Chain A
Amino acid sequence: RKEVEQDPGPFNVPEGATVAFNCTYSNSASQSFFWYRQDCRKEPKLLMSVYSSGNEDGRFTAQLNRASQYISLLIRDSKLSDSATYLCVVNWNDMRFGAGTRLTVKP
């Protein structure tokens, strides 16, 4: 089993749609959690941290379920500029990355 698993997609959605990404991790000792965004042929950049109580940043909502070892990212009112690959990241000993979920938002 991979340490951090994501649905690879691709997700193709129309503008304005709501889309959700899921991520599971294998190590129950993981201490911190993140979502990163990576544009084509660019470096990953932090989108948001994920807190135990869940957190929201504008159109983006992240949830953490420690019991199920599960993280999610919800994007509301999708924009064309949201098209990217979204990486789930879990920290134990060092940052462990999922393979990413590719999102394409179409007009």
Chain B
Amino acid sequence: NAGVTQTPKFQVLKTGQSMTLQCAQDMNHEYMSWYRQDPGMGLRLIHYSVGAGITDQGEVPNGYNVSRSTTEDFPLRLLSAAPSQTSVYFCASRLGDANEQFFGPGTRLTVL
């Protein structure tokens, strides 16, 4: 199993550009989540999904969209990048609500 994979690992955007961060898992997990991690702030939940076709907002959803058309994939779209979105983004998945959460290696995003 590859576990949770994320692409790209690094990305630099200009303000106003859009892009999609890819996330995939091969463990047949129902739950998938996107977090951003900023210094001193810990991980903050952006969006999450409890199964294909179901998504919901987390703590900091503004400026981001998600979709879950398959169990395996959970892409995160930045609609119009802003410098405040400079962060490290982690995708995670888990089998059930209270199970261990597995993280991807992260995407380091810089918005100029």
Contacts and interface: CB of A to CB of B under 8 A. Distances in A.
Contact of A32 (B33, B40, B44, B98): B98
A54 to B, nearest CB: 18
Interface string B32-69: 01010000111111001000000000100000000000
Contact of A44 (B40, B44, B103): B103
A80 interface: no
Contact of B105 (A8, A43, A95, A99): A43
Contacts of B97: 31-32, 91
24 contacts: A4-B42, A31-B98, A32-B98, A34-B100, A34-B101, A42-B106, A43-B104, A43-B105, A44-B90, A46-B100, A46-B101, A89-B101, A91-B97, A91-B98, A94-B48, A94-B58, A96-B45, A97-B35, A97-B42, A97-B43, A97-B44, A99-B40, A99-B42, A100-B42
